[in-house]
Amino acid sequence: MSKTFDRFASIAFLLIGLLFVIESRSISQSAYGSSVGPNIFPTALGVILILLSIRLLFETTKYEHGERIKEPVQYVKFLIIFISAIIYAAILEPLGYVISTFLFLLIAFQTMERGKWISTIVIASAFSFGVYYFFAEFLGGSLPGFPQF
Amino acid sequence: MSTLDFLFNGFAVAFQWQNILFAFVGVLIGTAVGVLPGIGPMSGVALLIPVTATLTSGMPTEAAAASSIILLAGVYYGAMYGGSTTSILLNTPGESSSVVTTLDGYQMAKQGRAGAALSIAAIGSFIAGIVSLIGLVLLAEPLSNVALKFGPAEYFSLMLLGLCAVSGLAGKSMTKALIMTVFGLLLATIGIDAVSGIARFTYDLPILYSGLEFLTIAVGLFALGEVFKTVLERDKEDGAIAKIERILPTKQDLKDSAKPIVRGSLMGFFIGVLPGAGATLASFFSYVAERKFSKHPEKFGKGAIEGVAGPESANNAASGGAMIPLLTLGIPGSGTTAILMGALIMYNIQPGPLLFDDHPEVAWGLIASMFIGNLMLLVLNMPLVKVFAKIIQTPKKYLLPIIIAISFFGVYAVQYTTFDLYLLLACGVLGYFLAKNDYPLAPLVLALVLGPMIENNMRRALTISNGDFSIFVSKPLSLVFILAAVAWLVVPLIMKLKGRNVIINDEE
């Protein structure tokens, strides 16, 4: 258990609860013949979330100062894959499914482990072409296939 | 029509060629999901929803729903089968419900009895699957008839009970579990309010009007969260895989495991029916019980076949039992059944008491297909045990990026928006950090699915009572549900205060 994370999380959830309570006030009260409008449920939940967050915050003060085992974390690998996934999402529509998926898989495979270019290219192209043709051509689904000029 | 007629019609649905194929693909993928460490049944089912949605896109709604739920349920119970393989061969459980199987299963493998352990696990799972199906057939009609008499107040309280049960048993900290539940309920309020038609928390963004898509969040939290975790923290070298020599168990093995299988199946089924208590608890209880019943308790932990047969039957029976509250009451009792329910709702089919009347082919087709699926699993697993053991060696460097690509494809193919892809990635990061710090994800998904239903029932009940909240305690059934819900939360607290260890249910 990480004290810092739990503190941060409890404050974050507290703010989320507060946000929902405040924003619920601006929801129209009208309920068309019912005495309970659309704002009651989120308001009540927001209040409960605030109370629970305060309790979690209180609980973190009781955590024992245990030795934290540091696990080796591969930030660089993760960040490269994550950022390329964001770029993948961004270029999916303009560049089309096949090219963007191929590029993403190529980068991700090589990030996981360098080398073996031939097998990564084969698997990446088989997956991107295979999925596209199976889905768009064979099943008749709609995917942006290739860039439109 | 009597139950038998319905069951017969169900078999007619399940025996359509595409449904046999779907059941086969489902159990096959499920076994692979169970075998692969890192992908549990929950992320497996979530990832396959978009795939089944596209596969069935040409069919009429009801047939499509039946086919895809047949496939997805196959993944669910297939994973329960496959989970035992890694426990026995590698001493690493493929999913949490197979944790206790490692205790005796791996010892058996070390003694050269891996084949016997695997086949007993398969036979036990098969018998358990059949037992839970018989239970499902017997209980489905009466339960849904009772549920038909429920009004909105009863439904609200029952769903509250379901949420409390899952939160009370999930994870190490109940506060965290409750936070996840409430957070999920809040996320479910985003979008157009179904009762009044007023947009809530949308900030005039059209993309938010339909709410956050449940599928995107589930795939992000479970599948991507798990992938990110493995990318960040992997490089734990897997141990050596035990060799499989003789596959068939000996007569003595069969004799020793007959009773544990029956006990495990019955116990697992009833534990599975209870909301919140899933397959993990069932296998754990079964192991403890077998050690108590055994004439040689000292053999446990040293390769007793009873310690494999009981828990493996129990976790499979529990996954069958968990279908009962989902199908008859419309209330999922675990994370995976919540995802199955989300899949049904995507097809505009509402699980619950009316399911058996409105969509008998979906309900009974699913039940019948589970018979067939279990049979397929037995036939598949006995000879193919060695092949499945090979799947464990799939290199992660190919597997992980492909899981990301499948999630992207799945979400985009269903939603057609890039917004959902960004949401997917955000949920992946969120899922990683939350799971790492013991925030259980299952309650969040469950709350997200149940949220709109809870709110609508609450408001309908309050409309009936003219805004008087006492309607929830003045109706006797509703009061019972609320008291039970409170008990689920309070009893573990009291036990903790008394210094007793509380068994908790892991993600499944």
CA distance A148 to chain B (A): 17
Report the domain count for chain B: 1
Examine residue B123 and state whether it is found in any structural domain, yes or no.
Answer: yes
Give the model's pLDDT for residue B507.
43
* Residue B95 structure tokens: 């999913």
pLDDT digits (tens, 9 = 90+) for B86-104: 788 877 776 677 788 888 8
Cβ atoms of B246 and B295 within 8 Å: the answer is no
pLDDT digits (tens, 9 = 90+) for B359-387: 888 888 888 888 888 888 888 877 777 77
All residues of chain B having their beta carbon less than 8 Å from the beta carbon of residue A45 are 182, 185-186, 189
Tell me how crowded residue B111 is: count the other CB atoms within 10 A of its CB.
13
Q: From residue B167, how far is each of A27, A104, B179, B207 by CA, in Å?
A: 29, 38, 9, 31
Alpha-carbon torsion (A24, A25, A26, A32), positive or negative: positive
Report the amino acid identity of residue A6.
Answer: D
Tell me how crowded residue A133 is: count the other CB atoms within 10 A of its CB.
13
Q: CA B495, CA B168: separation in Å to the nearest integer?
A: 12
Say yes or no for a CB contact (<8 Å) between A36 and B200: no
Say yes or no for a CB contact (<8 Å) between B231 and A73: no
Say yes or no for a CB contact (<8 Å) between B183 and A28: no
Say yes or no for a CB contact (<8 Å) between B179 and A123: no
Say yes or no for a CB contact (<8 Å) between A85 and B198: no
Q: Which chain B residue's Cα is nearest to A50?
A: B179
Cβ atoms of B71 and B26 within 8 Å: the answer is yes
Q: Which chain B residue's Cα is nearest to A124?
A: B402
All residues of chain B having their beta carbon less than 8 Å from the beta carbon of residue A141 are 54, 57, 413
Q: Which chain B residue's Cα is nearest to A55?
A: B175
Q: Which chain A residue's Cα is nearest to B181?
A: A49
- Residue B170 — φ and ψ, nearest 5°? -90, 135
Class of residue B463 by CB neighbours under 10 A (exposed 0-12, middle 13-18, buried 19+): middle
Say yes or no for a CB contact (<8 Å) between B201 and A123: no
Q: CA B76, CA B85: separation in Å to the nearest integer?
A: 15
- For B90, the domain range is 3-497
All residues of chain B having their beta carbon less than 8 Å from the beta carbon of residue A61 are none
Q: From residue A11, how far is each of A52, A53, A54 by CA, in Å?
A: 11, 7, 8
Q: Which chain B residue's Cα is nearest to A81?
A: B401
Say yes or no for a CB contact (<8 Å) between B175 and A23: no
Q: CA B437, CA B440: separation in Å to the nearest integer?
A: 9
Q: Give me the residue spans of the domains in chain A.
A: 3-60, 75-138
CA distance A95 to chain B (A): 13
All residues of chain B having their beta carbon less than 8 Å from the beta carbon of residue A46 are 186
All residues of chain A having their beta carbon less than 8 Å from the beta carbon of residue B489 are none
Q: CA B53, CA B50: separation in Å to the nearest integer?
A: 5
* Residue B505 structure tokens: 């249910």
Examine residue B504 and state whether it is found in any structural domain, yes or no.
Answer: no
Q: Which chain B residue's Cα is nearest to A42?
A: B186
Residue-wise pLDDT tens for chain B (508 aa)?
A: 577 788 888 888 888 888 899 999 999 888 888 887 667 788 888 888 877 887 787 788 888 888 999 999 999 888 878 878 878 887 777 667 778 888 888 888 888 888 888 888 888 888 988 888 888 888 887 888 888 888 889 989 988 888 888 787 766 788 898 999 999 999 999 988 877 778 888 888 888 888 888 888 988 998 898 889 888 876 555 556 666 666 677 788 888 888 889 999 999 898 888 776 677 788 888 888 888 888 888 888 888 888 888 888 998 888 888 888 888 888 887 778 888 888 888 888 888 888 888 888 888 888 888 888 888 888 887 777 777 777 777 777 888 898 899 889 888 887 888 999 999 999 999 999 998 888 988 889 888 888 888 988 898 888 888 878 888 988 888 999 999 889 888 887 787 777 655 555 544 4
* Tokens 């909301």 found at: B275
All residues of chain A having their beta carbon less than 8 Å from the beta carbon of residue B172 are 1
All residues of chain A having their beta carbon less than 8 Å from the beta carbon of residue B232 are 73-75, 77-78
Cβ atoms of B69 and B49 within 8 Å: the answer is no
Examine residue B502 and state whether it is found in any structural domain, yes or no.
Answer: no
Give the model's pLDDT for residue B180.
93
CA distance B261 to chain A (A): 37
Cβ atoms of B161 and B488 within 8 Å: the answer is yes
The SS3 of residue B501 is: coil
Examine residue B507 and state whether it is found in any structural domain, yes or no.
Answer: no
CB pairs under 8 A between A and B: 168
CA geometry: angle at B440 spanning B438 and B444, to 5°? Answer: 145
Say yes or no for a CB contact (<8 Å) between A1 and B438: yes
DSSP secondary-structure letter at B221? Answer: I
Examine residue B459 and state whether it is found in any structural domain, yes or no.
Answer: yes
